[in-house]
Amino acid sequence: MTLQRCATCAWWRRQAPCLSSATRSLAVPYEEGTCHRNAPAVVNNGGLAVSLFPTTHESRFCGQWAAQPTGGGDDGERVIAFPPPANRIAA
């Protein structure tokens, strides 16, 4: 049985950036990711409007959980995550 939590949800991306226009994030811990169930929220950041996806821990759960598709894949988007401190060297 699959545990219904962020880490097993089709909408969740491990270590993905919360900023919707970013391609990857080097500072996100391995157990955190972003939820892509809904469109990013527009947030006022010191007079600059930015769009952010919610960041969650892999063990969280919400009512919109959906099973990951079988066969894996990420639809062509690749978030390359390296464990620290290698992530600073590789970037």
pLDDT tens across the length of the chain (91 residues): 568 899 999 999 988 888 888 877 677 888 999 999 999 999 998 888 989 999 999 999 888 888 887 655 555 455 555 555 554 554 4
Q: Tokens representing 68?
A: 């990951």
Task: Let me know: does 72 contact 47? Beta carbons within 8 Å.
Answer: no
- SS3 call for 88: helix
- The DSSP output letter for 64 is T
Q: Is the pTM of this model over 0.75?
A: no
